[in-house]
C-alpha cells in the first residue's frame, strides 16, 4: 500500500501543478489495481464496505462484497462564511480558480467525544468513546458536486479510476433493464451491487445515464485516490475521520445524528436516507430515491449540509476497528492499512441493514473503490 500511496501523492501533486495551465492536459497517474482477496462476508450491513477492486481481468473478476429548498449558508448564524478560506496571499491564479465554488465554513477549535460506548454496529469499531482535541479548520458546506468535479476535470484532464478500470459498482435498483441484462456478476455479500461497464462519475448508472440534470448532486464513482486529487487541486485536503466526526456533530455532545437523537424531529426528514424495505422498496418519503441536490436538507449547528445521508464521504484515515481510550490531539488514524474510512452513510441507508447514518458510524473501502453512493468533501486550514 505504502509505495502506491506515495506514487498517488506524487501524481496528484502533478495534477495540482498542471491545473494552472490554460491548456487542457491529460493527467493520468499510472495506477494499477491492487490484487485483493476473495469475497468476504461483511458482517452486518449493507455490504457497501465490501466493495473493492479485484484482479483486473475485466469486470467479471471483481468481487465484493425535489421538495426541499436550499438555504443560503450566509444567512445562517453558524455559517461564518469564508470565501477566503483557501486563498493564499500572493499565490498563483490557479488557487483562485479553484476557489470559485469554495463555500466553506469555519469549524472552531475544540474537543469532543469521538465514537460511542453504545455502538449501533460494534464490529465497525464505533467504540470506545474517547476525548479528542482538534485545531480549527474550514470545511466545504456541502459534498463535492458533479459541477465542481467537472470544473476540476475540465481544468486538469484528470481521469478517474473508475474510468480507467472501465467500470464501477452501481446499486441494482437504479439500473435499466438493458444494463442489468448485460451483467452476470454480483457481489457475493451484497448481491444488490453490480459492476457496471462504463459506469463512472459522468455516467452514474452506466452508459445510458448522464449527470447533465444532476450537476448539483454529489459526485459519485470517485475513489479515495480521485478524492485526494480533487482536494489537492482545490488547495484543500480530505478531513481526518476525527475532523469529519467533530464537524458532523455540529457542536452537540454525544448525539446520534448531526441534529440530535430523533431521526425525524417533528415528522421532518433531516437527511436523504432510505424509507421502505431494503433493497426492494424505496418509498422516497424524504423526496428522493437516489441522491438529492446538495443542501436539500437542513444544516447542522456548524452550517454543514448532508453530513449524514445523500453520499458517503471519504476521509483521509486508514481503517482499523481497535481504538485506545487515550485522549488525542489532532489524530490522523493508523499509520498503515488496507482500506480507507468513509463516514455518514448514504441515500441507501436504512436502520434495518445499514444503520450508519450516525456521526459515530463508520465503514471502509479500498482506496481504488468507487460506487454509486460514495463521494466526499474537503477541508482546509487556510485563512486561519
Ligand atoms: C466543462 O467543459 C464542458 C465542455 O466544454 C462545458 O460544457 C462545461 O460547462 C464545463 N464545466 C464547468 C463546470 O466549467
Ligand atoms: Ca431518500
Ligand atoms: Ca453525506
With contact defined as beta carbons under 8 Å apart, do 243 and 137 qualify? yes
Asked if 44 contacts 349 with a C-beta cutoff of 8 angstroms, the reply is no
What is the Cα–Cα distance from 310 to 193, expressed in whole angstroms?
17
* Bridge-based pairing state of the strands 328-329 and 130-134: parallel
193 CA to middle of ligand 3, Å? Answer: 19
364 and 319 Cβ atoms separated by less than 8 Å = yes
DSSP annotation of 197 reads E
Quote the crossing angle between the two packed helices 224-233 and 146-156, to the nearest 10°. 70
Q: Share the mean pLDDT of the chain.
A: 80
Q: How far apart are the C-alpha atoms of 353 and 45, rounded to whole Å?
A: 5
Q: Which residue's C-alpha comes closest to atom 3 of ligand 1?
A: 154
pLDDT category of residue 27 using cuts at 50, 70 and 90: very low
- Cα–ligand 2 centroid distance for 132 (angstroms): 32
Average confidence (pLDDT) over 101-113 = 90
* 382 pLDDT tier (thresholds 50, 70, 90): confident
pLDDT band at 188 (very low <50, low <70, confident <90, very high): confident
Q: Is the minimum distance from the CB of 362 to ligand 1 under 6 angstroms?
A: no
Give the ligand at the shortest distance from the Cα of 310: 3
Residue 77 has pLDDT above 80, yes or no: no
Q: How far is the CA of 352 from the centre of ligand 2 (A)?
A: 15
Tell me the backbone φ, ψ of residue 124, rounded to 5 degrees: -80, -5
Which ligand has the shortest distance to the CA of 173?
A: 2
Task: Report the range of poorest mean pLDDT among 47-56, 100-109, 218-227, 348-357.
Answer: 47-56
pLDDT for res 187: 86
Nearest atom in ligand 1 to 215's CA: 13
Mean pLDDT, residues 127-134 = 98
User: Which one has a higher pLDDT value, 198 or 184?
Assistant: 198
Report pLDDT for 184.
Answer: 83
Q: How far apart are CA 126 and CA 363, in angstroms?
A: 10
Mutation pick for ligand 1 pocket among 150, 210, 215, 233 (CB with most ligand atoms within 8 Å)? 150
pTM of structure: 0.79
Write out pLDDT tens, residues 258-302: 999 999 999 999 999 999 999 999 999 999 999 999 999 999 999
| Cα 20 to Cα 32: distance, rounded to the nearest angstrom | 27
Q: Give me the numbers of helices (H) and strands (E) for the chain, helices first please.
A: 7, 12
More confident residue, 66 or 113: 113
Q: Tell me the CB-side half-sphere exposure of residue 210, using CA atoms within 13 A.
A: 3
The string of pLDDT tens digits covering residues 342-359 is 999 999 999 999 999 999
CB burial class (10 A; 0-12, 13-18, 19+) of residue 213?
exposed
| Cβ 150 under 6 angstroms from ligand 1 | yes
Contact in structure between 16 and 24 (CB atoms under 8 Å): no
Least confident range from 185-189, 219-223, 336-340: namely 185-189
**Residue pLDDT, tens place only, 197-220:** 999 999 999 999 999 999 999 999
Determine the average pLDDT of the residues in 163-189: 92
Question: Can you tell me the distance from the alpha carbon of 98 to that of 152, in angstroms, rounded to the nearest whole number?
Answer: 8
- Atom 12 (ligand 1) nearest CA: 151
Ligand 1 atom showing the smallest separation from residue 154 Cα: 1
CA–centroid distance, 99 to ligand 1, in Å, is: 16
Query: Minimum-distance ligand to the CA of 294?
Result: 3
Residue 309: nearest ligand to its CA? 3
User: In which residue are the cell numbers 506514487 written?
Assistant: 7
- H or E segment and range at residue 80: none
Distance 288 CA to ligand 2 centre (A): 4
Closest C-alpha to 293, from 275, 277, 309: 309
Q: Which of 261, 216, 243, 215 has the alpha carbon at shortest distance from 313?
A: 243
Mutate to test the pocket of ligand 1, among 154, 202, 216, 217 (most ligand atoms within 8 A of CB): 154
- Residue 178 in grid coordinates: 438493458
How far apart are alpha carbons 107 and 249 in whole angstroms?
A: 11
Amino acid at each position: 500500500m505504502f509505495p502506491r500511496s506515495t506514487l498517488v501523492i506524487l501524481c496528484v501533486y502533478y495534477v495540482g501543478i498542471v491545473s494552472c495551465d490554460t491548456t487542457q492536459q491529460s493527467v493520468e497517474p499510472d495506477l494499477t489495481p491492487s490484487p485483493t482477496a476473495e469475497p468476504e462476508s461483511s458482517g452486518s450491513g449493507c455490504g457497501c464496505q465490501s466493495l473493492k477492486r479485484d484482479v483486473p481481468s475485466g469486470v467479471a473478476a471483481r468481487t465484493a462484497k425535489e421538495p426541499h429548498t436550499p438555504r443560503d449558508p450566509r444567512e445562517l448564524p453558524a455559517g461564518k462564511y469564508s470565501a477566503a478560506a483557501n486563498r493564499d496571499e500572493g499565490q498563483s491564479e490557479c488557487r483562485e480558480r479553484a476557489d470559485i465554488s469554495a463555500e466553506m465554513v469555519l469549524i472552531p477549535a475544540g474537543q469532543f467525544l469521538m465514537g460511542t460506548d453504545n455502538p449501533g454496529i460494534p464490529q465497525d469499531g464505533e467504540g470506545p468513546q474517547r476525548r479528542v482535541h482538534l485545531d480549527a479548520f474550514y470545511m466545504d458546506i456541502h459534498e463535492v458536486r458533479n459541477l465542481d468535479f467537472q470544473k476540476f476535470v475540465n481544468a486538469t484532464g484528470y481521469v478517474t479510476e473508475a474510468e480507467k478500470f472501465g467500470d464501477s459498482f452501481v446499486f441494482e435498483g437504479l439500473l435499466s433493464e438493458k444494463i442489468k441484462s448485460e451483467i452476470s456478476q454480483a457481489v457475493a455479500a451484497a448481491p444488490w451491487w453490480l459492476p457496471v461497464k462504463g459506469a463512472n462519475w459522468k455516467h452514474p448508472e452506466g452508459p445510458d445515464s448522464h449527470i447533465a440534470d444532476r450537476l448539483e448532486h454529489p459526485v459519485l464513482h470517485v475513489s479515495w485516490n480521485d478524492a485526494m486529487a480533487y482536494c489537492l487541486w482545490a488547495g484543500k485536503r480530505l478531513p481526518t475521520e476525527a475532523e469529519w466526526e467533530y464537524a458532523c456533530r455540529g457542536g452537540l455532545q454525544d448525539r446520534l445524528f448531526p441534529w440530535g437523537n430523533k431521526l425525524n424531529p417533528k415528522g421532518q426528514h433531516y437527511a436523504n436516507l432510505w424509507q421502505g424495505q431494503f433493497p426492494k422498496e424505496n418509498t422516497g418519503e424524504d423526496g428522493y430515491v437516489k441522491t438529492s441536490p446538495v443542501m436539500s436538507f437542513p444544516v447542522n449547528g456548524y452550517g454543514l449540509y448532508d453530513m449524514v445521508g445523500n453520499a458517503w464521504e471519504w476521509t483521509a484515515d486508514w481503517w482499523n476497528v481497535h481504538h485506545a481510550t487515550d485522549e488525542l490531539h489532532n489524530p490522523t488514524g493508523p499509520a498503515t492499512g488496507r482500506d480507507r474510512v468513509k463516514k455518514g452513510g448514504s441515500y441507501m441507508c436504512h436502520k434495518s441493514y445499514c444503520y450508519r447514518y450516525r456521526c459515530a458510524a463508520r465503514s471502509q473501502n479500498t482506496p481504488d473503490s468507487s460506487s454509486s453512493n460514495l463521494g466526499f468533501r474537503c477541508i482546509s486550514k487556510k485563512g486561519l
